[in-house]
Chains A and B, each alone.
Chain A
Amino acid sequence: MSTDEGAGRPMTMIEAINDALDIMLARDPDVVVLGEDIGFFGGVFRATAGLQAKHGKTRVFDTPISECGIIGVAVGMGAYGLRPVPEIQFADYIYPGLDQLISEAARLRYRSAAEFIAPMTVRTPFGGGIFGGQTHSQSPEALFTHVAGLKTVVPSTPHDAKGLLIAAIEDNDPVLFFEPKRLYNGPFDGYYDRPAKVWKGHADAVVPDGHYTIPLGKARTVREGEALTILAYGTMVHVASGVVESLGVDAEIIDLRTLVPLDIEAIEQSVRKTGRCLIVHEATRTSGFGAELSALVTERCFYHLEAPVERVTGFDTPYPHSLEWAYFPGPVRVGEAIERLLAAD
């Protein structure tokens, strides 16, 4: 897994992402970092703070507000041999660039028989829990997992964020790197009315020094258990962990880390063992990534299942300004689903 993994120190997810970018800028002269307000200002979430001062304005630079253009030029840079890391300030603003991602980035390799590739990593904060309303809270990952030719990554800890981001940048295919913004500064478990937790002191906040990678396509078992399997990614990993802890359930929690490629072996192994499967994501339900997971689990583990697969997801509505906690698939809904699954026989 690691190349020259050093001792490590605690970081927030923002610091871990910053560190990954810093290391890659230093190691590979082909890496460039671009996006709205990311240079001079250091990014709205501070993910790129200090990088322009350190690596210069030709490597780390601001763009106009032109998402379609940003993603398009990144495809061209990649085809020529660079390794661009564009930031789209919020995943909600990625849609103007969809054509460039789908028609160009995702298909360049295929239609040129690998003559040209698009080794780019689009970093973008996603997910809710910050009162962002409909244009700052969405989870559009399934739009991208549906497109052949793109990889989709979602870290859930500072440790993973750094290792996965380095792996994504070094990967020769276009990667969508969705950063759960509610996890930037702490492991949010969905208990919005309790004091906010910080990363400091959390085991997975210890980030090794230097360069290391976490391979794309390898899930992480957050917790082993026998009673049921919970499949989650991003913020929902922490929501699931919090509920499991408070209910004292012997659940196995799998953090998918990457949706494409998907670690189907890990999923299959776990569900065959537990016989019960809960899938949790923030995104809307219909045609969400949970639907794909549910289909795969049913196809592959049908004879081992002791209960129908359950999904807890966002509702099929736009993300509201008001009533955020009624919308957010939090501990109450996850807890109820766990109880239903365990009661079924």
Chain B
Amino acid sequence: MARASNPGISKKSAAAFAEPQGSGSDNFSLRSLQDTLESDRRYQATQEELLHLYEQMLLIRRFEERAGQLYGLGLIGGFCHLYIGQEAVAVGLQSALEEGKDSVITGYRDHGHMLAYGIDPKVIMAELTGRQAGISKGKGGSMHMFSTEHAFYGGHGIVGAQVSLGGGLAFAHKYREDGGLCLAYFGDGASNQGQVYETFNMASLWQLPIIFVVENNQYAMGTSVKRSSAETEFYRRGTAFRIPGMKVNGMDLLEVRQAAKVAIAHVRGGGGPVLMELETYRYRGHSMSDPAKYRTREEVQGVREKSDPIEGAKADLLKLGVTEEQLKDIDKRIRATVSEAADFAEKSPEPEPTELYTDVLVESY
């Protein structure tokens, strides 16, 4: 997944690395970005912009619903983590990035982040079904997908590991002076891995262009946040490292988009890392087999009814004058795209057994 190589480090960039900021007398304020967000919470989207974001969220929802069905039919095996309920997070944040320039990295609940970055649903679905045409030739599966073209760095099954990799991506952006930043996603559960904090420290020490994003969907498998975390306000967890935090309603697309704008301005302005906590909710089980004894049906139903991100965006669209007819057309189009992806994923052949031995090392052996 290495990007094209560049000549070595320039003088300017060397200077930027030479003196870590440390805890000088600069007036670090945990809530500075939060205050900015609160002064103006929602992004003013044009009708066209909002339609596009709505369409992306709907694509994720329908794609995931179909993945769930294919799993039920036995076409997808093993582990498969659906993103339903969390759509506004990936779409709201990534729509504010420069695709192909800003890097994105996440854990195993990754389908939504890929779709939000414009990666072809066909090759994602074919990876889920383990086919040769899948984006990782069927060898990675649902949790392990990558695209250098889109600067999407995976797709990682080991909880929390991607956060440190994100630190490295951010370092490389700074080293190369390419103006890019890294968006590193992880869960409320992953927030308790030690390496997350090692990375916070390095990112702040070296003032790396990175946005750490905690997708707080309230549960890590069957463990609720309060049963596993001493500090449940995740946006505060950067304080000890002098990383400003933001707490964002992850169910409101326009608030997410606005928060992204604030955070990105800070990072691109050379302000160093930001820690965002996005409050969200997963509607489905953790993976495909989940007895869901850790929460009530009413709890799930309550979130769906009161704060569904897609319904929220729909209401905003109607206010902007979009018609029900237009929305129906979008839904139809998305359903067709998803069906096409599912057909493709079902009909593509499995990899040849010799494929087992490719891409273990650079050379074959």
Q: Using CB atoms and an 8 Å cutoff, list the residues of chain A in contact with chain B.
A: 36-37, 40-41, 44, 62-66, 68-69, 92-93, 95-96, 130-136, 315-318, 320-323, 326-327
The residue from A62, A95, A130, A317 contacting B360, defined by CB atoms under 8 A apart = A317
Number of A-B contacts defined by CB within 8 Å: 112
Min Cβ gap A167→B in Å is 30
Contact A133 B159 (CB under 8 A): no
Contact B130 A62 (CB under 8 A): no
Contact A65 B192 (CB under 8 A): yes
Contact B144 A64 (CB under 8 A): no
Contact A66 B193 (CB under 8 A): yes
Q: Closest residue to A318 on the B side, CB-wise? A: B360
Contact B228 A321 (CB under 8 A): no
User: Within the assembled complex, what's the spacing in Å between the Cα atoms of A327 and B160?
Assistant: 28
* Apart from the given pairs A41-B293, A317-B360, A322-B134, 11 other A-B contacts in the complex at a CB distance below 8 Å: A40-B223, A40-B227, A63-B228, A132-B78, A133-B140, A135-B108, A316-B360, A318-B139, A321-B144, A323-B351, A326-B353
Interface residue B259 (Cβ < 8 Å from any Cβ of A):
no
User: Which of A40, A69, A93: most chain B Cβ within 10 A?
Assistant: A40
The residue from A93, A131, A326 contacting B77, defined by CB atoms under 8 A apart = A131
Contact A65 B157 (CB under 8 A): no
Report B-chain residues with C-beta under 8 Å of the C-beta of A96: 158, 160, 193-195
Interface residue B166 (Cβ < 8 Å from any Cβ of A):
no
User: Within the assembled complex, what's the spacing in Å between the Cα atoms of A40 and B35?
Assistant: 38
User: Within the assembled complex, what's the spacing in Å between the Cα atoms of A130 and B357?
Assistant: 21
Min Cβ gap A257→B in Å is 29
The residue from B79, B190, B350 contacting A323, defined by CB atoms under 8 A apart = B350
Q: Closest residue to A95 on the B side, CB-wise? A: B158
Would you mind naming 26 contact pairs between A and B with Cβ atoms under 8 Å apart? Answer: A36-B223, A40-B223, A40-B294, A41-B222, A41-B223, A65-B189, A65-B220, A131-B79, A132-B78, A133-B79, A133-B144, A134-B140, A135-B143, A136-B157, A316-B360, A318-B360, A321-B127, A321-B138, A321-B142, A322-B134, A322-B350, A322-B351, A323-B130, A323-B139, A323-B350, A323-B356
User: Within the assembled complex, what's the spacing in Å between the Cα atoms of A93 and B189?
Assistant: 14
Min Cβ gap B141→A in Å is 3
Report A-chain residues with C-beta under 8 Å of the C-beta of B131: 322
Report B-chain residues with C-beta under 8 Å of the C-beta of A130: 78
Report B-chain residues with C-beta under 8 Å of the C-beta of A136: 78-79, 157
Interface residue B13 (Cβ < 8 Å from any Cβ of A):
no
Contact B159 A65 (CB under 8 A): yes
Interface residue B23 (Cβ < 8 Å from any Cβ of A):
no
Report A-chain residues with C-beta under 8 Å of the C-beta of B108: 135
The residue from B159, B194, B228 contacting A93, defined by CB atoms under 8 A apart = B159
The 8 A CB mask of B210-248 against A (1 = contact, 0 = none) is 000000000011110001110000000000000000000
Q: Closest residue to B190 on the A side, CB-wise? A: A65
The residue from A37, A65, A92, A326 contacting B160, defined by CB atoms under 8 A apart = A65
- Which are the 7 A-B pairs with shortest beta-carbon distances? A321-B141, A135-B157, A322-B130, A131-B78, A64-B192, A322-B138, A131-B77
Min Cβ gap B48→A in Å is 39
User: Within the assembled complex, what's the spacing in Å between the Cα atoms of A327 and B138?
Assistant: 14
Interface residue B355 (Cβ < 8 Å from any Cβ of A):
yes
The residue from B130, B192, B353 contacting A321, defined by CB atoms under 8 A apart = B130
Q: Using CB atoms and an 8 Å cutoff, list the residues of chain B in contact with chain A.
A: 77-79, 108, 127, 130-131, 134, 136-144, 157-160, 189-190, 192-195, 220-223, 227-229, 293-294, 350-351, 353, 355-357, 360
User: Within the assembled complex, what's the spacing in Å between the Cα atoms of A65 and B357?
Assistant: 33
Report B-chain residues with C-beta under 8 Å of the C-beta of A63: 228
Interface of chain A, main secondary structure: loop
Min Cβ gap B85→A in Å is 20
Interface of chain B, main secondary structure: loop
Report A-chain residues with C-beta under 8 Å of the C-beta of B355: 323
Min Cβ gap B347→A in Å is 15
Report B-chain residues with C-beta under 8 Å of the C-beta of A321: 78, 127, 130, 136, 138-142, 144
Report A-chain residues with C-beta under 8 Å of the C-beta of B77: 131
Report A-chain residues with C-beta under 8 Å of the C-beta of B141: 133, 321-322
Q: If the complex has contacts A321-B78, A323-B351, are A133 and B143 also in contact, measured as CB distance less than 8 A?
A: yes
Contact B194 A320 (CB under 8 A): no
Contact A44 B221 (CB under 8 A): yes
User: Within the assembled complex, what's the spacing in Å between the Cα atoms of A27 and B131?
Assistant: 51
Min Cβ gap B280→A in Å is 18
The residue from B142, B143, B193, B223 contacting A37, defined by CB atoms under 8 A apart = B223
Q: Closest residue to B230 on the A side, CB-wise? A: A64
User: Within the assembled complex, what's the spacing in Å between the Cα atoms of A132 and B79?
Assistant: 6
Min Cβ gap B22→A in Å is 26
User: Within the assembled complex, what's the spacing in Å between the Cα atoms of A23 and B185?
Assistant: 42
Report B-chain residues with C-beta under 8 Å of the C-beta of A69: 194
User: Within the assembled complex, what's the spacing in Å between the Cα atoms of A36 and B353?
Assistant: 36
The residue from B127, B137, B193 contacting A65, defined by CB atoms under 8 A apart = B193
Min Cβ gap B105→A in Å is 16
User: Within the assembled complex, what's the spacing in Å between the Cα atoms of A136 and B78?
Assistant: 9
Min Cβ gap A164→B in Å is 28
Contact A317 B357 (CB under 8 A): yes
User: Within the assembled complex, what's the spacing in Å between the Cα atoms of A321 and B135?
Assistant: 13
Q: Closest residue to B222 on the A side, CB-wise? A: A41
The residue from A62, A93, A316 contacting B227, defined by CB atoms under 8 A apart = A62
Q: Closest residue to A321 on the B side, CB-wise? A: B141
Contact A41 B78 (CB under 8 A): no
Report B-chain residues with C-beta under 8 Å of the C-beta of A132: 78-79
Contact B157 A134 (CB under 8 A): yes
Contact A133 B227 (CB under 8 A): no
Report A-chain residues with C-beta under 8 Å of the C-beta of B157: 92, 133-136
Report A-chain residues with C-beta under 8 Å of the C-beta of B228: 62-65
Contact B220 A133 (CB under 8 A): no
Report A-chain residues with C-beta under 8 Å of the C-beta of B195: 96
User: Within the assembled complex, what's the spacing in Å between the Cα atoms of A68 and B356?
Assistant: 31
User: Within the assembled complex, what's the spacing in Å between the Cα atoms of A68 and B196?
Assistant: 12
Report B-chain residues with C-beta under 8 Å of the C-beta of A322: 130-131, 134, 137-139, 141, 350-351
Q: Closest residue to B291 on the A side, CB-wise? A: A41
The residue from A44, A62, A66, A318 contacting B194, defined by CB atoms under 8 A apart = A66
User: Which of B77, B127, B142, B357: most chain A Cβ within 10 A?
Assistant: B77
